[in-house]
Amino acid sequence: MSETCLPFIDLQAQQARLGDRIEVAISRVLKHGQYVMGPEVAAIEKELAAFAGVRHAISCASGTDALVMALMAWEIGPGDAVFVPSFSFIATAECVALVGATPMFLDVLPGTFDLDVAGLDSAVAAAKKLGLRPRVVIPVDLFGLPADHLAVAAAASRHDLLILDDAAQGFGGSLDNRRVGCFGHATATSFFPAKPLGCYGDGGAVFTDDDDMAERLVSVRVHGQGCDKYNNVRIGLNARLDTIQAAVLLEKLTVFPEELEARQRIAERYTAALGRCVETPAARPGARSAWAQYTIQVEDREAVVAACKAAGVPTQIYYPIPMHAQTGYAGYPQVPGGCPVSDRLAKRVLSLPMHPYLSETDQDRIIAAVRLAA
């Protein structure tokens, strides 16, 4: 083992930069005492909506809640089919199962990891054959790389599907100079600490331009409330974002654009150094990734992991099992032809350390370790 092990994501470096400001912001909340739905919650929602270029950002308790809230607000439930890429974090399908609807797994594209829209027509036909109503498609901006939102929109409109963008990893990215958050009928994101914009616990938000949807989301977030808190017009959740987390996010949002630039520089440096020995990730033309992860593809993953480990370089496998092969989800249908790309990616992907405070010296150490084995 060489020098000390690098962190995979260095939250302490950001803390050293923003810690004083965040402590002041938190103590402000402690002083006013409005821990639930305090003024910082409305303030962060306004800032987030402006950042994404949409009319509404409804904050909530996690990215998973954001996905569930959107489906609940659209009254998706038993008998409904929701089309999801198999290669994603489990919450992308879990939210569908939680509302009693049926997730149908589609495959993904091998270079950009996003939904293979070409499969949507046959998936819709297969869902109908099973007696399901096709209702929603959930593209995922996996690893921060924006999905092919224009292709998704075209295919979804052919089948009258609602689009829920799972941007848990993608918030901060853009496509044709439009920020992620504006592409679906609704977009869900996560503020889990390791996400590009993370808080100090769990948090999330739903973005939408639809005023009526925004109203329903606000209701779903607090027990399906109607005109007041003891008037309940629908089934809902307790899914509010804590005021303290909103205060943290307000501070972090001020440096977010700069951090995104730093991630972009690191990704470019990785790609320049590794592009010839491994398959490197690339955003599609016109797209800018949020670089939640920098995920390479390698033939002999075990060898690369071992070389990195010996050099004190942590790596992660996102994700070792595609969702259609997960025990809890094996009973759900797949697109005709199955998901062979997802199966293959699960064996080949490897995520390298990525955060905005990664020094060039550490980047070089990571690059050298990968090159040694790839």
Ligand X SMILES: Cc1ncc(COP(=O)(O)O)c(C=O)c1O
The residues of the shown chain that bind ligand X, judged by CB under 6 A, are 62-64, 88-89, 91-92, 140, 166, 168-169, 190, 192, 202, 204
Q: Are strands 204-208 and 56-60 parallel, antiparallel or unpaired?
A: antiparallel
CB of 220 to ligand X, least distance (A): 16
Return the SS3 of 263: helix
Distance in Å, CB of 368 to ligand X, minimum: 29
Whole-Å CA distances, 373 to 67, 307, 365, 368:
39, 6, 13, 9
In the bound state with ligand X, the residue whose beta carbon lies nearer, of 104 and 373, is: 104
Determine the Cα–Cα distance for residues 92 and 164; give it in Å rounded to an integer: 10
Block residue for tokens 């993370």: 198
Cβ proximity to ligand X: between 270 and 319 the closer is: 319
Closest distance of CB 94 from ligand X, Å: 8
Shortest distance in whole angstroms from residue 187 CB to ligand X: 11
Distance CA 213, CA 186 (A): 8
168/311 with CB nearer ligand X: 168
* Under 8 Å between Cβ of 59 and 241: yes
Q: Buried (b) or exposed (e) across 48-58, using 16+ Cβ within 10 A?
A: bbebbebebbb
- Only one residue has tokens 């050099």, namely 311
In angstroms, what is the minimal distance from the CB of 34 to ligand X?
Answer: 23
Nearer to ligand X, 204 or 236 (CB): 204
Q: How far is the CB of 292 from ligand X (least distance, A)?
A: 8
Tell me the C-alpha to C-alpha distance, in Å, between residue 60 and each of 98, 180, 328. 17, 18, 26
DSSP 151-185: HHHHHHHHTT-EEEEE-TTTBTBEETTEETTSSSS
Q: Which is nearer to ligand X, 62 or 208 (CB)?
A: 62
- If the CB atoms of residues 237 and 277 are measured against ligand X, the closer one turns out to be 237
- Please say which residue, 59 or 297, places its beta carbon nearer to ligand X: 59
Query: Is the alpha carbon torsion for 330, 104, 184, 341 positive or negative?
Result: positive
CB of 321 to ligand X, least distance (A): 15
- CA distances, 88 to each of 93, 120, 124, 302 (Å): 9, 17, 20, 21
Which of 143, 270 has the CB closer to ligand X?
A: 143
Q: How far apart are CB 233 and ligand X at their closest, in Å?
A: 26
Backbone angles phi, psi at 186, to 5 degrees: -150, 155
Q: Which secondary-structure segment (H or E) carries 349?
A: strand 349-352
Least distance between ligand X and beta carbon 166 (Å): 5
**By Cβ distance, which residue is nearest to ligand X?**
63
What does the alpha-carbon distance between residue 159 and residue 157 come to, in Å, rounded to a whole number? 5
What does 283-333 look like in DSSP terms, one character per residue? PPTTEE---S-EEEE-S-HHHHHHHHHHTT---B-S-SS-GGGSGGGTTS-
* Residue number, 122 or 238, with CB nearest to ligand X: 238
- Shortest separation between residue 65's beta carbon and ligand X, angstroms: 7
